[in-house]
Chains A and B, each alone.
Chain A
Amino acid sequence: EIVLTQSPGTLSLSPGERVTLSCRASETIHTRFLAWFQQKPGQAPRLLIYEVSTRATGIPDRFSGSGSGSDFTLTISRLEPEDFALYYCQLYQTPITFGGGTKVEIK
């Protein structure tokens, strides 16, 4: 089973800043079945990005995904107040696995 490691665990940033979140796989991923989710307290996860770099319906273009092999990133170009949340990467080939998450908090 492929293990996804997200770093850092927590980021303290200000609105307007650019943020890059990392997701590293324990081995090379030969598909593009890598997604990113946002989760706010008390809410279900929301799909942001799938197939490494495709934005889900309704997701603003300040969110972008990239990567290949075993290294993947989620970038938020300019943090908006509503972007402070938990972010998870996920490999959706079976068995489905999630990274441990990165919390983006207000500095």
Chain B
Amino acid sequence: DVLLVQSGAEVKRPGESLTISCEASGYDFSAYWINWVRQMPGKGLEWMGRIDPSDSFIDYSPSFQGRVTISTDTSLKTAYLRLTRLKASDTATYYCARHYSSANPLDFWGQGTLVTVSS
């Protein structure tokens, strides 16, 4: 079975950094892009960017380029989302999701990681 399992909830202070992980199983990790999606409390879904694990090519949404870094470790079948200089407005649930290509939908999603940024 295809599974994307994300790391657990985090509580951070403003200005800190954090890394969220997304471990894949049940499929060829290198064959599918991993996307990251943000959902602020009570709000809709926002695409942050995606990475092709086969060559580490990355597409960032212009809205998130700058404080966000997406990476993978193919030996661990894991993708990462790093957020720096955290602000209270980064409080959100972050999801990873895979798709085969731009011509294919995001078909499997991680369970989400709740990040709370508070002083």
Contacts and interface: CB of A to CB of B under 8 A. Distances in A.
B44 A96 contact: no
Interface string B86-119: 0000000001010100111111011110000000
Interface of B: 35, 44-47, 50, 59, 61-62, 95, 97, 99, 102-107, 109-112
Best-surrounded residue of A37, A44, A94 (most CB of chain B within 10 A): A44
- Give 8 nearest A-B pairs by CB, closest first: A50-B105, A44-B109, A96-B47, A98-B45, A35-B105, A101-B44, A100-B44, A94-B102
Given A94-B59, A95-B61, A96-B35, A45 B47 contact: no
Given A95-B59, A96-B47, A98-B46, A35 B102 contact: no
Interface size class of A (residues with CB under 8 A): 20 to 34
Nearest to A49: B105
13 contacts: A1-B62, A33-B105, A39-B45, A44-B110, A44-B111, A45-B95, A45-B97, A47-B105, A50-B105, A50-B107, A56-B105, A92-B102, A98-B44
Interface string A22-61: 0000000001010101010000111100110000100000
A26 B10 CA distance: 37
B45 A44 contact: no
A96 B36 CA distance: 11
